[in-house]
Amino acid sequence: MSTRVMIFGGHGKVARLLEPLLVAREDAVTAVIRNPSHEAEVAATGATPLVFDVEAFDTDHLANLVGGNDVVVWSAGAGGGDPARTYAVDRDAAIRSIDAAMDAGVRRYVMVSYFGARRDHGVPADDPFFAYAEAKAAADDHLRASGLDWTIVAPSRLTLDDPTGRIDPDATGSRSVPRGDVAAVIAQIIPDPATYGRTLRFNSGDVPIGDAFPV
């Protein structure tokens, strides 16, 4: 039986690398996107595009949306710039999606975060990155307290380099990692109960992804 996966932020760079990996193993993938002009590009990955503005709908609407899926993957983001929109998407909409998964009985939830996300992130208040750091810390904390079967995927700086299939799962400082390897990690850990309740911080490295997170 295929796993039904809903990906928020389905047109993002990581999501578009993740979608064909899931489709190739016969998962049923729904990619939630905001812009209808992205439907064809998302459909080309094998995922089913679904136009839905996560900023515009409340938890009940989101619960109706995610209901019937087995997994929620949050890979959406405002993309920086406007702090108000960063809080609206990366914090508030993410938190609503977590509550919606709880309400709809979707137990498995994977959050795409970043290596340094934590309450004591150390980003100065006058830094343009501050709103994102605050928003991700709040959303990650909400997920940890949710009681869901959660995993937070927290890669270091993302690159467009070709994926290597290898990471450093024990990294203590942020360096970099190709987006393709982040997508491969997400695909690998979705069915892995050993990753429930864990924050996975990683860089590029020498450990094959399948060895780092054996299913």
Q: Could you tell me the residue range of the domain that residue 114 belongs to?
A: 4-212
**Region for residue 81 given its phi and psi (left: phi exceeds 0; alpha: psi -120 to 50; beta: otherwise):** left
Contacts of 82 (CB under 8 A, 6+ apart): none
DSSP per residue over 97-157, as a string?
HHHHHHHHT--EEEEE--TT-STT----TTSTTHHHHHHHHHHHHHHHTS-SEEEEEEESE
Residue 46: per-residue pLDDT: 98
Cβ(64)–Cβ(31) below 8 Å: no
The CATH number of the domain where 198 resides is what?
3.40.50.720
**Each residue's pLDDT expressed in tens, for the chain with a length of 215 residues:** 789 999 999 999 999 999 999 999 999 999 999 999 999 999 999 999 999 999 999 999 999 999 999 999 999 998 877 999 999 999 999 999 999 999 999 999 999 999 999 999 999 999 999 999 999 999 999 999 999 999 999 999 999 999 999 999 999 989 999 999 999 999 999 999 999 999 999 999 999 999 999 87
Please name which of 148, 138, 140, 84 lies closest in space to residue 113, comparing C-alpha atoms.
Answer: 140
Tell me the one-letter amino acid at 171: A
Report the DSSP beta bridge partners of residue 8: 32, 74
Residue with tokens 């399948």: 210
Query: What is the distance between the terminal CA atoms of the chain, rounded to a whole angstrom?
Result: 17
Q: What is the pTM of this model?
A: 0.96
Instruction: Give the total number of structural domains in the chain.
Output: 1
Q: What are phi and psi of 121, to 5 degrees?
A: -65, -25
Q: How far apart are CA 74 and CA 201, in angstroms?
A: 16
Q: Please name the helix (run of DSSP H) or strand (run of DSSP E) that holds residue 15, with its range, or none.
A: helix 13-24
Largest CA distance in the chain: 50
Residue 120 is which amino acid?
D
Element (H, E) at 94: helix 94-104
Which one, of 57, 65, 82, lies nearest residue 31 by Cα? Answer: 65
**Nearest-angstrom CA–CA distance, 170 and 207:** 10
Please provide the DSSP assignment of 163-205 as one string.
Answer: P-SEEETT-SS--EEEHHHHHHHHHHHTT-GGGTTEEEEEEE-
Within 10 Å of residue 11's Cβ, how many Cβ atoms? 23
Whole-number Å distance between alpha carbons of 27 and 4: 6
